[in-house]
Structure 1
Amino acid sequence: MDLTELFFISLGTAVFLYYGIRLLLFSRMFFPKLWFPLSETFFTSMGEWAGSGNQRTPSIKKVVTGGSEGIGRAYAFALAERGMNVIIMSRTKATLDQVAMEIGETTGKKVKVIVTDFTDENVFSEIEEQLKDLNIGVLVNNVGMLPSFIPCEFLESEELDKTITKTINCNVKTTVKMCKMILPGMENRRKGMILNVSSGIASIPFPLYTLYAASKVFVERFSQGLQAEYDDTGILIQAVAPFGVSTRMAGYQKTNAVTLSPEDFVKNSLQYLRAGGKTYGSVCHIVLGWLLQSIPLKVLYAESVLHGLQEYVKKKTRQKNLVFASRVTTQTGTNK
């Protein structure tokens, strides 16, 4: 056997082993309970509390930003069901109060609400004041905004300057500032958990949702960098990147194998807490992420594909509006 033959045999063996190991690692995602088990006390081990009250004595709390609906609401419920009290933050007090009441009645856990608008420039000093005497054990950075539900080119966005500021404040600045606020206490106690909600479309540069996708790329890289920095402190930091979830941001699409309800998505994603610095949160979304990154960008960026996406979303929006108008008309007629 000459050196050339030996080289190619060695190269082929190395490639086979490399992709074999990658396939094995990927296959683990189909069996999260087997590969990434959590103890029954995993969540409560962060502390007896995961929400916040007004007492001044130290206790462990949990904060969910954007907790009044959708994925944030589902996280608040899921963690309360696992024995944690919660703090939920959003800008609509009536909705927050309703969610707090439902969590309390359903789980018996305590809930504190903080009303704030994360698109504003200066909201964090007030939040920090309300949290300064509390030891936060779990932080879920879920709050986010989609600049435009209908996909459009960057320069076509309405009130572009305001949109840029609000998107960066909400999707980028909030994540960083909340981590700055909460992380020191976790580091001192050498335990805690931070989940930063990104988006599946951040897997690639995504035309027509350019600003939103770019802001979510920041969330992923920030989360993964923090995890590397604090890996030896006992703090778990993870970016969660869902694709289709039936929320207001996604136009409340019908649930199916790909588009999950917020409750189902959160239930699935919590099984992947020990799966690494980033998770898509469910088997179907993991496969979608793999497919999206496997398709050549030239295909995805073809004008026909982008135009088809735009028309699809417009059609779905019209259908939603017609259904809503029909319901309003029916209710008005009934009231008469």
Structure 2
Amino acid sequence: MAHLYGYPDIGRFGLGHSMLAWARCEVWCRENNARMLGPRWLRPRIGPYLRRERDRREYFKLFTNEGYLGEPWRTVLLASARKVSADTADPLAYTGHTVVVFKNTVASNFEKHFHEVRGHGPMLYDAFRRITRKKYLPQALGSPFVAVHVRLGDFTRFDPNRVEAGTHNNRLPIEWYCDSLVALRRGLGMDMPARVFSDGSDPDLLPLLGLPDVRRADDAESVTHMLEMAQASVIIGAGSNFNLWAAFFAQVPRITYPGQAIVTVNDDPSREISFRASGSLPDMFVEHVKRQFLPEAGSSCAIAQSS
């Protein structure tokens, strides 16, 4: 009789990148009635210290492996069972103890593998909250807000040609975030409060923080910020898989710069748009945002009454 296991080998990537192997394995194990071996979250990283980043990426502090097989069984199975790559695995050929291993790739990780988890956002949201240590779960934020995710840190200088061609890890101009927020508020007919989630300094973010009713999110661990963004009514995001997960988990409408969405994460593609910071937002997208925080109101008049 075959005993089937899945193992997410998350590697030493950032949180958003690491999570795809975990998510693929979670979905696959449920669909194949397999036991999942807990990820090894303890992966020492020196880069964040050398770059003096706000986030030290000490993920072992943030997560448990509740619901998964942990030590000593993880080590025993990884040492003794037959291991096959998830990319070549054939469920009909499994014999004995088999561990199917899911790995992240350095390049095009989401382009290659995100289709394996698409449509499972709410389930993975629950699973992710389950393994997040309780002290890092955010409080319910209640009131509708715009999440603005500004990634700076280890991203490179902005090059519009490379960015629009789909090259990621580029800093977007702060003015783009400002213009996107202004266009969104104009479409909604109200100045919805905005929270800025960023690894940048206040001087870096000054034009954005100077807009009405815009403030930084409280200091917190990366996982807390990701789960807070999942409570937003809409996300204006850098080309980063960090805000990608927040939008995917809760199916939050998302605005990205052209070429920077990475992949579409909303089940309904019209809930995501690219915006060049000129003109107005599509009416359908604005209606999606309205329904996100006023689910029973499908018309602009409900917005007018509440503002």
What is the TM-score normalised by the length of structure 2?
0.26
Structure richer in helix, relative to its length: 1
What is the TM-score normalised by the length of structure 1?
0.25
Relative contact order higher in (CA < 8 Å, ≥ 6 apart) = 2
